[in-house]
Structure 1
Amino acid sequence: MPDLLIELFSEEIPARMQTRAGEDLKKRITDGLVEAGLTYAGAAVLTTPRRLTLTVQGLLAESPTVREERKGPKVGAPDKAIEGFLRGAGVTRDQLEERDTPKGAVYFATIEKAGRPAADIIAEVLDATIRNFPWPKSMRWGSGTMRWVRPLHSILCILSDETGTEVVPLTVEGITSGDTTEGHRFMAPGRFAVNSFEDYEAKLKRAFVMLNPSERAEHIWNDATNQAFAAGLEVVDDKGLLAEVAGLVEWPVVLMGKIDDDFLELPPEVLQTSMKEHQKFFSVKNPKTGRIEKFITVANRETTDNGATILAGNQKVLSARLADAKFFWENDLRTAKSGMSAWTDALGNVTFHNKLGTQAERIERIAALARELAPVTGADADQAEKAARLAKADLSSEMVYEFPELQGLMGRYYIEAAGEDAAVAAVAQEHYSPLGPSDDVPTAPLSVTVALADKLDTLTGFWAIDEKPTGSKDPFALRRAALGVIRLVSENNLRLSQKKCFGLGIGLQQYSIEFRDAHSRGQEHEVEKIGPTGFITDGNDEKSVHLLSFFHDRLKVFLRDEGIRHDVIDACIAMEGNDDLNLLVKRARALNAVIATEDGENLVQGFKRANNILTQAEEKDGVEYSYGADLKFAETDSEKALFAALAEAEKQIAPALEAEDFPTAMTAMAALRGPIDAFFEEVQVNSDNDVLRRNRLNLLSQIRTICSSVADLTKVEG
């Protein structure tokens, strides 16, 4: 069985596209080979800035001969039907076979497709792959029509086995395949032939090309950390930057440079961001002080001066970049120390959304929400309002304008520089969190308050203008915002009525919308008379109810990773107080734990049986059996035992629910499993004796009432 080696050699491929391109090459080639009948033992893809390489091991030398039997029309069918079948099957009339079937004599054709050499199939698949490759961005060059991410120079495509090497012949837009490649652009120019993947990889290494991106990344990290350690320093971990830099070089040479003393007092995050974004440098910090003191750069070649010229050039460019950063930092500090009103006022000229007003208007709403939320989170209302008004002030700063990814972090520095409390300053950085499922959740009361207000304002705003997520489209990240609210509430154990929050948030949004509309007509005083409170609802309006339903759907996603089933959550959502997300999460976790046990699972079945019998009887009799059963009519031991068990369960469940101790309530409910099972095994509910029948139906009603006080078990699937 031969091995296949493909290399597509081009000008430099952007680092961010290399991994995906390698995956696409592997999938398209291997899928095409298998579809044509060529199976293989294994495949791997490797990338460098100038090449996509695929190796396929244990490939069939040719596709197998395939025989297919096809059923045709009946014997004696019209000639046109038979001729159509012959054309479709690619056979002649004398190749047809007559067979008897239960429906009479029928024509059958046996179609044989001969196998094809692997080289022919590979050529077709590779040609189609190159011509239709899914680059995010591509270009044409010269007079050709083919598109590639950068000009494609050569195609290496060989089959090799113990007998030798064969070039797979194909030509794509004037580029003919061969068995040669090139080494490093500067250190080993010129082409050379290869005869297998092992030979290819070894010769590339001698030509100063590390083919494996993981090997390049490991080499960079090891060399960087060793150099930093020798200087008593540490490299700041950044896996994303490491992967990107490994995609920029074929022969990584790690160099450590010094940052000018003028810039060492800049915040470490400013230094790190500036070096990463502009220069692709790693930051090197002093572990004792946390200060960034040096940098690591990765060159793509060795030099006779051991990188001195390269370092000198990089340090010169870096100094110019950091001089800008220092200028922004010092200007921003002066503004912050003289009061941040200049920045907050400037946000009145920044549009948040054309239907939701400016950032300044949004901050007013967030501040109002924060004041209302403060009693729930345990924050001081005045501090919460102040923190909300300052949290986004840094959006007007020069530093954040240059480096948007530093928003919040710079706000923390500036608010502290303005003389505000550290807890208020921390809100600027922490109120954006959590941004994702693995992001840390703020725990400081002020930060939690403003984070909730910020996310609730976003959600209620877009609900107020009917801009909701549809399908996979969520341009304003509203699903992420809802999950953020759920995590903030749940992980901080907050008791919060979402309906009340939605009524307040949507009311504030509506006031802003009406005020802007009235202002455009010169009638804003009419809206001012009503005031924001005139638009606030109790949360039972249509928009709030729909937003709560959206939250319930997000809650299912949030709890899915814990193994909590959707039907369990539905059983809890059906209960009163379903707008209290923390209560809902606790109830769902407790119910899920009980249902996972044998008693819990069987109890659900017993409950459903009782509920079905009771429902059918109530429909038939036209009455509701909810008046309480009488023990004196109990005939059997199991019936009497059920009376006792229900009384005991009710005695435990009611106070547990009052105390919101759901595990205790669920456990007490699960304990009913045995008595209910015994009752149904021994007792006929629909007795011929009407008195006994009514009493037993009322007993089933007690089962339904007690179980339904814990969760709506009708929603739980069997």
Structure 2
Amino acid sequence: MPDLLLELFSEEIPARMQAKAADDLKKMVTDALVERGVVYEGASAYATPRRLALTVHGLPIRQPDTREERKGPRVGAPDGAIQGFLKAAGLASLDQARIESDPKKGEFYVAVVEKAGRAVPDLIAEIVPEVIRSFPWPKSMRWGSGSLRWVRPLHSILCTFGPETEDPEVVRFEIEGVAVGDTTKGHRFLAPGTIQVRRFEDYVAKLEAAKVVLDPARRRDIILTDARNLAFAQGLELVEDDAVLHEAAGLVEWPVVLMGSFEESFLSVPDEAIQATIRANQKCFVVRNPKTGRLANRFILIANIEASDGGAAIVAGNERVIRARLSDAKFFWETDQKPLPGYEDEGKPLDQRLAKIVASNVVFHEKLGTQGQRIERIASLARALAPAVGADPAKAERAARLAKADLATEMVGEFPELQGLMGRYYATAQGEDAAIAAALEDHYRPKGAGDSAPTDPVAVAVALADKLDTLIGFWTIDEKPTGSKDPYALRRAALGVIRLVLDNRLRLPLLAVIAKAPFAKSNDIADDLLAFFADRLKVQLREQGARHDLVDAVFGLGGQDDLLLIVRRVEALGRFLGSEDGKALLAGAKRAANILRIEEKKDGAGAYAGGADASLLTEPEEKGLQAALQTARQAATSAIDSEDYEGAMTALAQLRRPVDAFFDKILVNAEDAALRLNRLKLLEEIRTATRSVADFSRIEG
């Protein structure tokens, strides 16, 4: 079956745009083919700095014929309706239509419209110009006198179609003078000549011969393998960096791995700052000395040419730039540890930076005050939280006060991604307690699903205070997430609190914490914020395989703000409902709740409170259920008081048979009003007993 080969050849495409552009090209072309009824076996798209390429294989030669029955007006309809039907159906007269009858609508005309399929190359000639003109580049440009827009000037289009056994044909179309043919060009410097190609396999092989590796995944493999080998040959280890790897692969068509060096004196700068400098300015890898675990004074760069001097000039140019940038980093590192002019009386360097933040009145949020005011809130909250997490209150407060101080340093100003990390380095350098220094880095964690939560109590206290202050503050000013919008990353902050609590198995009543917050309206937002935590906890537990409705059932009890106990209840409830006793009791409890909900509409809420009157219980099943309820309720309450949720579930499991027997033998809505009321009170006791562990009415199934 025929294959399509398409290449759009242009000036250099930014590396960050290439992967999505390849995906967009594949989707837009294949979607357009499918819309026209053309199916295919497979498709692949590729990108290099100067080209987007697409191959679609297993295409038919022609579009399939179509046959459509089009219903027309009734027989005897006005002439205008008849003429409109004939025109729409492409018929010359009504003789070409047939008449069908319907028992309700009578007789009406039906036209059979048959349409022959078109040649697929003709369809491609329509599709590709449409795709090019509507291509969703984040940024595009127009050049010359035409109206065509592309990410960079588009030089040529290669488009061929045909089976493997024959020479493919060039799909001809016009798009503002850009040439369409079966030729492309190789590497800009190493093989700039024109290359004629036939089909995809031929295209890939000839590009390779012309020093172009088409597949970005293969370019990444080449870079990573050669970089590892080059480092190993020098007795070093490559520090792998996915961001650098992907960008480097997007900057070169023929990757050539080289090694450069810099002065050892720069190694006095923290490793992370060296790596950030080299990554940001030259898109290069750093290497590690396996004997010391520290960085070596080497770096690995990716060139796009095989230079006649073995790359010496390229390496020297990169070394000059990196030397200058590392000189800046070393200056920042040393300057940040010196007294800050005008703040010499404020104590140590970080204290001086903190004083600068406070004095500058940098606004955190117009409704939540300055960054200095926020730091005071976090420090106060961290001290209050310290006993609950096992931290020293003084250390927690000190760490919280210094946590944002590195934001005023030169190093973090240049490399914002180093915030927290540089705080730890500077805190260590000025002799802070190790737990305080570590907290300055770790209080930002967990930063995402793949990040671990801190475990040191001081870091945990500051991390909780930081995230809770953010949540409480934005809830107070009613700046909550809406839909997919979450500009202040409040969902991530809530998940961070959940992770901190659960991973460290902390007992932290959230309502009490919210009440301590220094916002006048904090009590007003407590329930709504707790519901937000419930939603985030559902997400967390669902990713771990738990059922979201069980979280609803536990939160449905009201006042449930201890996340660790909530999770324990959910886990125990899940195991219980997985048993036969649990399933049967759930069915009985939901049946009782449904009856009560219906009857309460007649008698009013609370009409069945107070428990059933034992003197009105006449049937053995009633008496047996009441006795079982009393025993189970006492045992479950005692187990819950001691936080033994498995024990509470075991106690409730004893209700299974009495509840089943009651519903099998007893008519709840008896004709005798007193008997009916008493039996409804007995159902209320079932609901009350099960609500000691969860709101069973919220459980699905």
Give the TM-score, by structure 1 length.
0.91
Alignment of 1:156-555 (within 5 A): 156-161=158-163, 162-293=165-296, 294-335=298-339, 338-348=348-358, 349=360, 350-505=362-517, 508-509=518-519, 535=520, 539-541=522-524, 543-555=525-537
CA contact (8 A) 2:614 2:623 kept: no
Distance in 2 (CA, whole Å) between partners of 1:419 and 1:160 is 73
Deviation at 1:687, TM superposition (A): 4.7
Deviation at 1:101, TM superposition (A): 1.6
Distance in 1 (CA, whole Å) between partners of 2:615 and 2:162 is 88
CA contact (8 A) 2:608 2:680 kept: no
Q: Secondary structure at the match of 1:571?
A: helix
Distance in 2 (CA, whole Å) between partners of 1:236 and 1:176 is 44
Change (3 A) 1:55 1:695: same
Change (3 A) 1:625 1:317: closer
The C-alpha deviation readout for 1:77-122, integer Å capped at 9, x for no partner, is: 1122222222333323332211122121111111112100001111
Distance in 1 (CA, whole Å) between partners of 2:581 and 2:53 is 57
Distance in 2 (CA, whole Å) between partners of 1:148 and 1:597 is 62
Distance in 2 (CA, whole Å) between partners of 1:93 and 1:671 is 81
Aligned with residue 113 of structure 1, among 92, 112, 115: 115
CA contact (8 A) 2:611 2:685 kept: no
- Structure 1 residue 701 corresponds to structure 2 residue 684: yes
CA contact (8 A) 1:618 1:625 kept: no
- The amino acid of 2:351's aligned partner reads S
Change (3 A) 1:314 1:339: closer
Distance in 2 (CA, whole Å) between partners of 1:422 and 1:657 is 40
CA contact (8 A) 1:625 1:697 kept: no
Between 1:318-327 and 1:256-265, the stretch displaced more is 256-265
Change (3 A) 1:8 1:217: same
Which residue of structure 2 aligns with residue 627 of structure 1? 611
The C-alpha deviation readout for 1:388-444, integer Å capped at 9, x for no partner, is: 111111111111111111110000010111111011011110111111122111111
Distance in 1 (CA, whole Å) between partners of 2:126 and 2:231 is 51
Change (3 A) 1:709 1:165: same
CA contact (8 A) 1:6 1:155 kept: yes
Q: Secondary structure at the match of 1:177?
A: strand
The C-alpha deviation readout for 1:495-519, integer Å capped at 9, x for no partner, is: 22322332333xx24xxxxxxxxxx
The C-alpha deviation readout for 1:469-523, integer Å capped at 9, x for no partner, is: 2222111111111111121122222222322332333xx24xxxxxxxxxxxxxx
Q: Secondary structure at the match of 2:512?
A: helix
Between 1:142-151 and 1:687-696, the stretch displaced more is 687-696
Aligned with residue 679 of structure 1, among 658, 662, 665: 662
Alignment of 1:635-674 (within 5 A): 635-636=619-620, 642-643=625-626, 645-674=628-657
CA contact (8 A) 2:396 2:462 kept: yes
Between 1:249-258 and 1:699-708, the stretch displaced more is 699-708
Between 1:488-497 and 1:447-456, the stretch displaced more is 488-497
Which residue of structure 2 aligns with residue 520 of structure 1? none
Which residue of structure 1 aligns with residue 344 of structure 2? none
Distance in 2 (CA, whole Å) between partners of 1:404 and 1:701 is 59
Which residue of structure 2 aligns with residue 23 of structure 1? 23
Which residue of structure 1 aligns with residue 13 of structure 2? 13
Deviation at 1:554, TM superposition (A): 2.1
Deviation at 1:618, TM superposition (A): 5.4
Deviation at 1:621, TM superposition (A): 5.9
The C-alpha deviation readout for 1:590-610, integer Å capped at 9, x for no partner, is: 323333444333322211112
Q: Secondary structure at the match of 1:184?
A: coil
Which residue of structure 1 aligns with residue 101 of structure 2? 100
Distance in 2 (CA, whole Å) between partners of 1:616 and 1:465 is 40
Change (3 A) 1:306 1:645: farther
Q: Secondary structure at the match of 1:297?
A: strand
Deviation at 1:156, TM superposition (A): 0.5
- The amino acid of 2:552's aligned partner reads D
CA contact (8 A) 2:211 2:253 kept: yes
What is the Cα-based RMSD across aligned positions, in Å?
2.1
- The amino acid of 2:383's aligned partner reads R
CA contact (8 A) 2:554 2:695 kept: yes
- Structure 1 residue 580 corresponds to structure 2 residue 562: yes
Give the TM-score, by structure 2 length.
0.94
Aligned residues: 687
CA contact (8 A) 2:237 2:287 kept: yes
Change (3 A) 1:153 1:599: farther
**Percent identity between the aligned chains?**
56
Deviation at 1:670, TM superposition (A): 3.9
Distance in 1 (CA, whole Å) between partners of 2:601 and 2:472 is 43
Distance in 1 (CA, whole Å) between partners of 2:183 and 2:615 is 94
Structure 2 residue ranges without an equivalent (≥5) = 341-346
CA contact (8 A) 2:71 2:111 kept: yes
CA contact (8 A) 1:99 1:106 kept: yes
CA contact (8 A) 1:434 1:484 kept: yes
- The amino acid of 2:571's aligned partner reads R
The C-alpha deviation readout for 1:589-636, integer Å capped at 9, x for no partner, is: 332333344433332221111223344455556742542353994644
Q: Secondary structure at the match of 1:284?
A: strand
- The amino acid of 2:541's aligned partner reads L
Change (3 A) 1:692 1:354: closer
Deviation at 1:648, TM superposition (A): 4.2
Aligned with residue 127 of structure 1, among 126, 129, 138: 129
CA contact (8 A) 2:423 2:440 kept: yes
Which residue of structure 2 aligns with residue 38 of structure 1? 38
- The amino acid of 2:139's aligned partner reads K
Distance in 2 (CA, whole Å) between partners of 1:456 and 1:686 is 51
Which residue of structure 1 aligns with residue 47 of structure 2? 47
Between 1:172-181 and 1:671-680, the stretch displaced more is 671-680
Distance in 2 (CA, whole Å) between partners of 1:206 and 1:660 is 71
Deviation at 1:366, TM superposition (A): 0.9
Q: Secondary structure at the match of 2:68?
A: strand
Q: Secondary structure at the match of 2:155?
A: strand
Change (3 A) 1:674 1:562: farther
Distance in 2 (CA, whole Å) between partners of 1:417 and 1:425 is 9
- The amino acid of 2:142's aligned partner reads R
Q: Secondary structure at the match of 2:64?
A: coil
Between 1:488-497 and 1:611-620, the stretch displaced more is 611-620
Distance in 1 (CA, whole Å) between partners of 2:601 and 2:142 is 74
Deviation at 1:466, TM superposition (A): 2.4
Q: Secondary structure at the match of 1:181?
A: strand
CA contact (8 A) 2:612 2:679 kept: no
Change (3 A) 1:355 1:691: closer
Change (3 A) 1:429 1:625: closer
Distance in 2 (CA, whole Å) between partners of 1:672 and 1:249 is 71
Q: Secondary structure at the match of 1:171?
A: coil
- The amino acid of 2:636's aligned partner reads I
CA contact (8 A) 1:631 1:643 kept: no
Which residue of structure 2 aligns with residue 521 of structure 1? none
- The amino acid of 1:222's aligned partner reads T
CA contact (8 A) 1:6 1:157 kept: yes
Which residue of structure 2 aligns with residue 517 of structure 1? none
